[in-house]
Amino acid sequence: MLAVLRRRGIVSGTVLDAMAEVPRDLFVPEHLAELAYEDGALPIGDGQTISQPYIVALMTEAAELKPESRVLEVGTGSGYSTGVLSRIAGHVFSIERHDSLAIAARRRLADVGYLDNVSIVVGDGTLGLPEEAPFDAIIVAAAGPRVPEALKAQLALNGRLVMPVGSAAGFQQLNCIVREGETDFRTEVLAPVSFVPLIGAQGWQR
């Protein structure tokens, strides 16, 4: 898997180390474990998917995490990307709207010993987590029609928000938004991607 990530352009040593450390086979359904180290998305129940390793690496690299970073993740899913983020950042708050997925993710993260710097919250991630803001990085693992204003408001100065924006039908652009001032945001487009929809007050209405 690491060879594929390098070939596709991931250069950050910290990101590659984190991808090497997290056992992805423990985050996919047992009958799909033999596919865990292929570079593809896989179903995890509730109509949701565990993200493709390359996309997890790309989003993590774009977030430019530091050991002290406080990170908000929207869309815990299997908990795999949460685990990757937790190997690099200081603390990861991850919000999931399906409580069944949140419970399973929390259990897996506990099993691999990653819960010390991870908090899993059930709720609508389009509203962020105002009580824990500001965040040095916000990673949204589901695609919305636009970047939620609530999330922009919870981004620290020089913080980075990585999120797929576009249609609900699986064609989106991965955006990286950098907060350069109180009301000043710069957007970079990273790659075309295909994510499940972000459903919530500042996302799709279902």
Binding site for ligand SAH (CB under 6 A): 48-51, 74-75, 77-78, 80-81, 95-98, 101, 124-126, 141-142, 196, 198-200, 203
**């652009």: which residue's tokens?**
173
Which lies closer to ligand SAH via its Cβ, residue 159 or residue 200? 200
Check whether the bond before 192 is cis (ω within 30° of 0).
no
* CB 156 to ligand SAH: min, Å: 21
Residue 144 near residue 204, CB atoms below 8 Å: yes
Please report how close the Cβ of residue 184 comes to ligand SAH at its closest, in angstroms.
Answer: 26
From 12, 51, 119, 167, the catalytic residue: 51
**What is the nearest approach in angstroms of ligand SAH to the Cβ of residue 193?**
12
Q: Which residues contact 1 (CB under 8 A, 6 or more apart)?
A: 19, 24, 37, 38, 39, 53
What's CA 158's distance to the chain center, in Å?
19
Going by the DSSP 8-state scheme, the letter that residue 51 receives in this structure is P
Measured from the CB atom, is 29 or 134 closer to ligand SAH?
29
Q: Three-state SS for 27?
A: helix
Virtual torsion, Cα 200, 45, 140, 195, nearest 10 deg: -100
Q: Specify whether 100 is catalytic.
A: no
Minimum CB distance to ligand SAH smaller for 75 or for 159 = 75
Q: Which is nearer to ligand SAH, 177 or 198 (CB)?
A: 198
Provide the 8-state DSSP code for 4. Answer: H
For the CB of residue 124, give the shortest distance to ligand SAH in the complex, in Å. 5
Active-site residues, by number, are 51
